[in-house]
Structures are given as structure tokens and as C-alpha cells.
Amino acid sequence: MDVEVRVFGGLESLIPGARFGQGIPLEVQEGCSVGLLLNRLAIPREKVFTMLVNGCHVTADAILKEGDRISLFPAIGGG
Amino acid sequence: MLTEKQRARYERQIILDEIGEEGQQRLASGKVLVIGAGGLGSVSALYMAAGGVGTIGIVDDQVVELSNLQRQILHNTDRIGTLKTTSAKLTLSALNPDISINTYNVRLDEENATQIISGYDIVVSALDNQETRYVVNSACVSLRKPLVEGAVRGFSGLLMTILPGKGPCYCCIFPKSSCDSYLTGLIGPIPVFTTTPGIIGILQAQEVFKLLLKTGTPLVKEMLVYDGLTSSFYHQEVKRMPGCSCCGLLN
């Protein structure tokens, strides 16, 4: 099934060719979790502060569905 | 009724259809609390003062340090060692003596947050730590106060406007439970490029102006994500979390 990933806040440097805000289309297997997706993208779990799927916060064990839009953010908490 | 001096001071925005004298008077009646007189707070407070927000509260418990001056433009070299709230009041009052500046030389916590925030219409979160963000979010949700949340790191920034019950709160997007373990691994000062808080801080002021003037479209249900290296913005859809520990019971 097809999903789309966006990465922000410097996580772009972890994915070859990734650009801020641009969707990365990916084909994943049924039952794939967000955590497995991070493994596939070789993004260390500890680098991701929050994960959103279709705008909703999820945990790493959330199972993805066809058409899901995943957004990954590192900690951005300064002021 | 605006005075002649006020008409002169705010002339350039009063002539905008969206503002007019009525809008300017709305700004003059507005009370906004800025929590943090650092990088974000400096810029948001400066522009709110310049634009005529009638009452600005500033909360900060720190003193000005040399390393602040690279981005905290409310302060200057002569004020190293001075309380940030004192420094902020001096700068803002010199820019616009027409407005009231209230200062709170405290660290906001669960004991004092509700009492301080209750005196204001809108809160600007210009914080540098997650712990206080959760306190502020909780107080704003319980008081149903609009909260303009901003954050920066390096060349990256985030901005969202929280209207409790109408869109996601901070905990809907960054729940405390999943943040705790992540944050204990972070040490050292947060790296911030000079312009990043300037850009996000001005946008926080812009959100305040939209709310006070009841014009434009505040960033509710969307988080603005900024990247300084590509000069890009992305509007990230954000939704309320069902059963959110903070705002889940609000309609």
C-alpha cells in the first residue's frame, strides 16, 4: 500500500534526496507500523520527537493504512 | 476615541481597510501576556508594542547574559546582569510609551500560572523549555484563553494558535507522556540561529493581531513549520487527540 512521508527540522539530512516539506511516496506492506517505517528509513527512533499521521499524534506501534500522510519532527523547543 | 498622537503613530495601519480606527481601538483594549523575554518574546513583544496592543505582560525570571544578545533584541550590552523583565519594560516603553507594560519576575508554574494568565486575553508562549509549555497549555485550556505557541531550534521553527476546545491543544500534538523519555536524553544549550526566533516571533505577533482584530485566519488546526535554510514554510494539518489528557473534556 502507498503512504507519504514528510520530515522536518533537520531530519531531511537522514534521508537521501529528502527536502523540507516535500512528500516522499513509499510503498509499505499491510500491517506496517510507524516504528517499522522509521527503521526502513533508517531514522533513529531517538531523533523523532513527535509523529503525526494525517495530522494526529501517534505512537510508534500505530499501524499505517493506504494513503496515510506521515509527518516526523525532532524536538524543536527553544525560545 | 484615538488621540491625534495615536492617529499619527498608527497612521500607516489605520488606513488599512482591515484596521481603521475601530481596529486600532480594539488593539488598544487588548491585553496580551508574553511568557519568556528571550528570542521569541523579544520580537513578538516589540511588534505588539509597535502596533499598539494596549497592555503587554512580560514573564521571565532570568537576567540578561552576553549569549542572549545574538537573538534577544529587547536587550543590549549595557543591560547584561539586569532582569530581563526590567530590560524588556525599558525597551518597550521607549518604543511606545502609550501602552502599559506589566512585568512578572517569576518562573511560571502550576501555583501561579492560572492567576497570572487570567488577567489577559491572549497568551504568547515564548518559552525555552517543555515543562513550562505544558503548564501554560494546561492553564490556557482550563481558562479557555487563546494561546499562540512558538518554538525554535537551529534554523527550524514551529507556530500554532491554540483555541481551547476549537482545535488541538499543545498536548494533542506533543503529549507529555511520549515526550518525557525523549527529553531526558537532551543536554546542553539549545542551538538557535539569530534570525529563527525573529521570524517565528513576528509571526506570533501576527497571530495575536489577527485574534484581537478578528480578521484573517489564525493558525488553528494547522501548525506552521519553518525552515530557514530553504526559506520555506509548510502548513501541517493538526487535529485534536481523542481523550487528550489536557483538553479532552472540552467542547
d(CA B22, CA B43): 25
Beta strands B147-153 and B232-237 are unpaired
What is the CATH superfamily name and number for domain A2-73? Beta-grasp domain (3.10.20.30)
pLDDT digits (tens, 9 = 90+) for B130-149: 999 999 999 999 999 999 99
List, for residues B26-37, the tens digit of each pLDDT value: 999 999 999 999
Cβ separation of A56 and B183 shorter than 8 Å?
Answer: no
Residue reference for cell 494546561: B138
Cell of A66: 493506504
- DSSP label at residue A22: -
Q: Per-residue b/e over B86-100, b at no fewer than 16 CB within 10 Å?
A: bbbbbbbeeebeebe
Class at the top of the CATH hierarchy for domain B31-236 = alpha beta
Which amino acid is it at B112?
N
Contact A48, A72 (CB under 8 A): yes
| Residue B62 predicted with pLDDT over 90 | yes
Nearest to B157 by CA among B81, B225, B69: B225
* Among chain A residues, CA nearest to B190: A78
Task: Say yes or no to pLDDT of B220 above 80.
Answer: yes
B residues 118-137 closer than 8 Å to A (CB): 125-130, 133
CB contact under 8 A, B152 and A78: yes
H helix intervals, B54-157: 84-95, 113-117, 130-143
Q: Is the pLDDT of residue B196 over 80?
A: yes
- Decide: pTM greater than 0.80: yes
Record: contact B36-A79, CB cut-off 8 A: yes
Q: Determine the pLDDT at residue B183.
A: 57
Residue B179 has pLDDT above 80, yes or no: no
> Is any Cβ of chain A less than 8 angstroms from the Cβ of B239?
yes
Cβ pair A57:B175 closer than 8 A: yes
**Cα gap B146→B123, rounded to integer Å:** 6
| In chain A, where the domains are located | 2-73
Residue B127 sits at φ, ψ, to 5 deg, of -90, 165
> Which residue bears the cell 500607516?
B12
Q: What pLDDT sits at residue B186?
A: 57
ipTM: 0.94
Nearest alpha-carbon partner for B129 in B61, B83, B79? B61
